A and B are shown apart, each in its own frame.
Chain A
């Protein structure tokens, strides 16, 4: 099969988007994520609409004699405090949650970016460099993978002076402890790709290593790396929450979901809403990231994608036939995407 046989020639991006749209779960996840991003960006606006801010104490709303539990029902939910107030301080939970979304998403995206950039650089260097470089980088990424990252992250967060901006520190710590996987994937792909004819052709044409990496290797590497990054995102959301939960994340009075969950744990019986809200948000966010990540992986996977296309075009064909079509189609689409 050749490219001309397809009814339309589409760019890789449009193709992937079309495939993603066909998955309802992925679309639902994307909508939720988009909503969360909007909430995070518009946090100051949203809390202004509510008429609250995340740091003002409301002691009048607490029962001081009972450990500072909110006096209102369901953790003090009413028209002025949409999701109630925090026990012990009376700070508005809605405002704290929407501001917390900023930290959670920012740190998750930022640390994933660090992981991908460092991982790609290391993977490419290992794949294209000499044996020594490959060995050194290989061992380094093995070490990073083998490190008990949580313990290490706690130690790192604790030694850095408190004047260093915490969200940035969280990104760096999570990012620099999590690039090992990306590096391995990129190295493996690079080793395969660099033996292909078109790369050899580029080299014969006089391209240097840097130009080959940039022009010939990066485009085909995009698919596996994006897939990997999409699955790193939810785990980074959890890492941030975990570090904040353990008290080494953002500094008070900044709120983050993990930190809120941490202070809420003892209240699960006397003020369940306080626990449920950050827990539910964390759950929904991680689930959405995972579902979308999974869908992106499927959409970028040439075999799965072509199976999909073949299935659509020839729905009634036998299975054996389909398989042979699949392998052919996969080759085509791989080279096709590479060319694109």
Chain B
């Protein structure tokens, strides 16, 4: 795998996907209440406004890095498969979109075949053919259209050397289109998760005749319910109108109630939440795809029933953790890593992340969702606020009876949970166990390249891992697969663990096409890996999103944790 692309990609997931996804659910009532109240009043027509912090940069299906096809991108780009547009855990299921099913695997899951639904059309009325999807995927290999995930390059036969349709006119032979409605993928190794990959925008059709290369992002040809009418400043301000050739008969997932969607980004989070809270004018029919409520705003909303009923809660599979590099002393000693695991004060960490409404304490590396194979374990029980006695005992055994001083490297920016707020909470918690933590803040722009390089990786640092799709594979493999250690690029295997038994187990599970069975195996592997204390899981984030007073039919799935723009209605 060329993981060198994954890092940037994952970053993009958390920013682009955050940006592009919109997910809010009525927190207090839960998905069921939301659904019923919504369906009763769902209203066709009107204008929906989306207020975001980060723009829809490079709005080209080849360049977007989304999870499950994204939210704003999902308005325009239909893909072979997509996430189920339903609230809660059911939303982690992969369902057919352009295809008739989620894919037919060969016996060893190296060949995947899809058939297109009949009657699919682009925004100009021309029918969508399998060749358009093949061309769309091939475009994502073009060096000038970078930004997408590296899975296609790693998985497709011949993908490693393919340079895209502009340079290699004959196309990629491992994607076959025996007829206009059939597309077949040949993979280098068994990949049971292929249907999940097929939700990404790279799997949306692009008509070769309308391809404008690097300028395609300005007006990509829509296969979804909306088409782009305006795109200013590379996705900062956008407008969408209904695509007359889209048919609900071929699309069971997107409701597409509003006639027009206005997208506005580059806004300050406090401004977004204030506008949604006030809900005056067009803001009454507004949602956000990427902005959480802040801790202070949660404290205010609690006293206001009208506001509290307009908050949607979602979960995106993501874990924030302390990563150890066992090549740096004293973290080569498992007892030191275990002592830190015991001493951690997760209550302080969760409060620093905004309290229990915005974060859940984590003791497992896998997110706490069944789709990932969540298997509860706590090898080094720290309790709510740390087990100092046990930690001291382990330190004494490790040869540090008088305590120890360690350095924690963290992002200098407080924009994420790898910043100073969490770092100081960790520092304060470990103090009671005689562990003195020195903080080493690193500028945001340098942080990921520093911690993800095997040459500069610090001994102990704050890290996070988000899911490209709700499965254990993309969660565990990049962090624990020894063959994914990258020596000349971005490396996520912080422990640089290369255990043949672990590698073989990852291969075995990747070949499983039954998702529930695979999830169970991932959970077991996670539990086993947890014993070595290469990481100290800290928290799983929770999304709390406010939406305007006129918003109806709120659907928030646990795939990306955001309110889905293609499903909401405006009053």
Contacts and interface: CB of A to CB of B under 8 A. Distances in A.
Are chains A and B native binding partners rather than an unrelated pairing?
Answer: yes
B299 A270 contact: yes
A207 interface: no
17 contacts: A56-B428, A57-B348, A65-B302, A66-B302, A67-B354, A67-B355, A67-B358, A68-B295, A88-B352, A89-B351, A89-B424, A90-B351, A158-B443, A251-B439, A253-B428, A266-B295, A266-B296
A55 B428 contact: yes
Contact of A57 (B270, B299, B345, B423): B345
Interface in A236-258: 247, 251-253
B126 interface: no
A11 interface: no
Interface in B386-429: 412-414, 420-421, 423-425, 427-429
B interface SS class: helix
Enumerate the 6 nearest inter-chain pairs by beta-carbon distance, A residue then B residue, closest first. A67-B295, A270-B299, A67-B298, A69-B299, A64-B356, A68-B355
Contact of B424 (A69, A247, A252, A267): A252
A162 B562 CA distance: 37
Nearest to B295: A67
Interface string B323-360: 00000000000000000000001011011101111100
Contacts of A88: 295, 351-352, 354-355, 421
A267 B348 CA distance: 19
B300 interface: yes
A271 interface: yes
Nearest to A56: B428
A62 B296 CA distance: 12
B298 A59 contact: no
A245 to B, nearest CB: 13
A247 B414 contact: yes
Given A55-B428, A89-B351, A158-B443, A69 B296 contact: yes
Interface string A49-90: 000000111010011111111000000000000000001111
A2 interface: no
Interface residues of A, number: 27
A270 B351 contact: no
A162 B425 CA distance: 19
Given A57-B429, A88-B351, 12 more contacts: A56-B431, A57-B425, A59-B348, A67-B294, A67-B355, A68-B352, A88-B295, A88-B352, A89-B351, A89-B352, A247-B413, A251-B441
Contacts of B429: 57
B300 A269 contact: yes
A59 B348 CA distance: 6
Given A57-B348, A62-B355, A251-B441, A87 B412 contact: no
Contacts of B302: 65-66
B297 interface: yes
Nearest to A91: B428
B440 interface: yes
A80 to B, nearest CB: 18
Contacts of A247: 412-414
A158 B413 CA distance: 11
Interface of B: 270, 294-300, 302, 345, 347-348, 350-352, 354-358, 385, 412-414, 420-421, 423-425, 427-429, 431, 439-443
Contact of B297 (A56, A67, A68): A67
Contacts of B439: 251-253
Given A57-B429, A59-B385, A247-B414, A87 B348 contact: no
Contacts of A63: 299, 355
Interface string A83-102: 00001111000000000000
A66 B355 CA distance: 7
A267 B299 CA distance: 9
A253 B354 contact: no
Contacts of B424: 55, 89, 252-253
B391 to A, nearest CB: 17
Contacts of A251: 420, 439, 441
Interface centre among A57, A88, A247, A266 (most CB of B within 10 A): A57
A289 B439 CA distance: 34
A86 to B, nearest CB: 10
A84 to B, nearest CB: 14
A63 B424 CA distance: 19
Given A57-B428, A251-B439, A269-B300, A64 B294 contact: no
B347 A64 contact: yes
Contact of A66 (B299, B348, B423): B299
Contacts of A69: 295-296, 299
B45 to A, nearest CB: 36
A57 B350 CA distance: 12
Interface centre among B298, B385, B413 (most CB of A within 10 A): B298
Contacts of B357: 64-67
Contacts of A266: 270, 294-297
A63 B270 CA distance: 21
A246 to B, nearest CB: 12
Contacts of A269: 296, 300
